[in-house]
Amino acid sequence: MKKFWAIFFWFWPVVALVLCVMAPSQGWWFPGPPGTQMGERIQGLFELILGIVTVTFIGTNFALGWVLWQAASKGDDKKAFYSHGSHSLELIWTIVPAFVLLFIALYQMDVWAEYRVQSFYPEETKQGSVAEFMARQFEWRVRYPAIGETLKDEAQPGDLYMVNELHVPAGRPVKINLRTQDVQHAFFAPQLRLKQDAVPGLIIPVWFDVPKAGNYDVTCAELCGWGHYKMKARIVVESQQAVDAYMRKLQEEQTEDGFVEEAAEEE
Partner 1 sequence: MSLTSGRFSWLTVVAISASLAAGCSKSGLESSFVYSAKTDSLIPEAQSGIKGQAGVKKMVDDRFGNPQHLKAWSKLPIDFGGVTASVGETPSGKAVKEILLQFEEGITSPSGDAVSSVQFVGGAAAGETAAVLSWDAESGKATLVSALTGSPAQGDQVVIGGGEVIRNGRVLYQRHCSHCHGTSGDGAGPTAEYLNPRPRDYRHGVFKFTSTNSSSKASREDLSRILKYGIPGTYMPSFLLLKDDELYAIVEYVRFLAMRGEFERKLVTELSVDYSKASVADQTASGTKRSEIIEALTAFLTEDFSDVANSAGDELAEAWSTADTEEALVAPTVGRVADSPESRRRGRELYLSKCADCHGVSGEGNGPQTTIFEKLPDADALYPEAGLHDEWGNVTKPRNLTQGIYRGGRRPIDLFCRMNEGIKGTKMPAFKTVFSNEDVWHIVNYVLSIPFEAEPGVSPGSIAPATPVAPAAAE
Partner 2 sequence: MATVSPALHGHDHADSHGHGHHEIGFIKKYVFSTDHKVIGIQFLVTTLLMLMVGGALALAVRWQLAFPWENMPFLGDIFGLFRTEGGQISPEFYTMLFTMHASVMIFLVIIPVLAGAFGNFLIPLQIGADDMAFPVLNMLSYWFMWPAIFCFGTSFFIGGATAGPAGGWTSYPILSAIMEAAPGSGDAQTWWLFGLTLVGVSSMMGSVNYMTTIINMRAPGMTLFRMPLTIWSMFITAILQAFALPVLTAAGFMLVTDRLLGTVFFVPSEIIVNNAEPTVGGGQPLLWQHLFWFYSHPAVYIMLLPAMGMVSDMLSCMCRKPVFGYKPMVYSMAAIAGLGFIVWGHHMFTSGMNPALGMTFMTSTMMIALPSAIKTFNWIGTIYDGNVKFNAVMLNCAGFVALFIVGGLSGIFMAAVPVDIYFHDTYFIVAHFHYVLFGATLFGVFAAIQFWFPKMFGRLMNDKVAKVHFVLTFAGMNGTFFPMHLLGIAGMPRRYADPYFHTYLEHLLPMNQFMTFSAILMGCAQFLLLGNFAYSILFGEKAGRNPWNANGLEWSAPSPPGHGNFDEPPVCYRGPYEYSSPEAEALGQDFILQTSPPPAGVKKADPAHH
Binding site for partner 1 (CB under 8 A): 137-139, 141, 155-157, 161, 163-165, 226-227, 230-234, 253-263
Q: Quick one: what does residue 262 bind among partner 1, partner 2, none, with the CB cut-off 5 to 8 Å set by partner type?
A: partner 1
- Closer by beta carbon to partner 2, 195 or else 251: 195
Q: Quick one: what does residue 163 bind among partner 2, partner 1, none, with the CB cut-off 5 to 8 Å set by partner type?
A: partner 1
One-letter amino acid of 18: V
Rounded Cα distance between 142 and 176, Å, is 10
Q: Quick one: what does residue 99 bind among partner 1, partner 2, none, with the CB cut-off 5 to 8 Å set by partner type?
A: none
Please answer whether residues 23 and 64 qualify as being in contact, where contact means their C-beta atoms are separated by less than 8 angstroms: no
SS3 content of the chain, % helix, strand, coil (to 5): 50, 20, 30
Rounded Cα distance between 190 and 1, Å, is 47
Q: How far is the CB of 84 from partner 2 (least distance, A)?
A: 5
- Closer by beta carbon to partner 1, 38 or else 233: 233
Q: Quick one: what does residue 205 bind among partner 1, partner 2, none, with the CB cut-off 5 to 8 Å set by partner type?
A: none
Q: How far is the CB of 134 from partner 1 (least distance, A)?
A: 11
- Closer by beta carbon to partner 1, 164 or else 239: 164
Q: How far is the CB of 1 from partner 1 (least distance, A)?
A: 41
Q: How do strand 165-169 and strand 233-238 relate by DSSP bridges?
A: parallel
Please answer whether residues 206 and 194 qualify as being in contact, where contact means their C-beta atoms are separated by less than 8 angstroms: yes
Q: How do strand 194-198 and strand 131-136 relate by DSSP bridges?
A: unpaired
Residue 227 burial (C-beta neighbours within 10 Å; 0-12, 13-18, 19+)? exposed
- Closer by beta carbon to partner 1, 76 or else 261: 261
Q: Quick one: what does residue 30 bind among partner 2, partner 1, none, with the CB cut-off 5 to 8 Å set by partner type?
A: partner 2
- Closer by beta carbon to partner 1, 212 or else 232: 232
Q: How many helices (H) and strands (E) does the chain have?
A: 5, 10
Q: How far is the CB of 208 from partner 1 (least distance, A)?
A: 20
Please answer whether residues 212 and 35 qualify as being in contact, where contact means their C-beta atoms are separated by less than 8 angstroms: yes
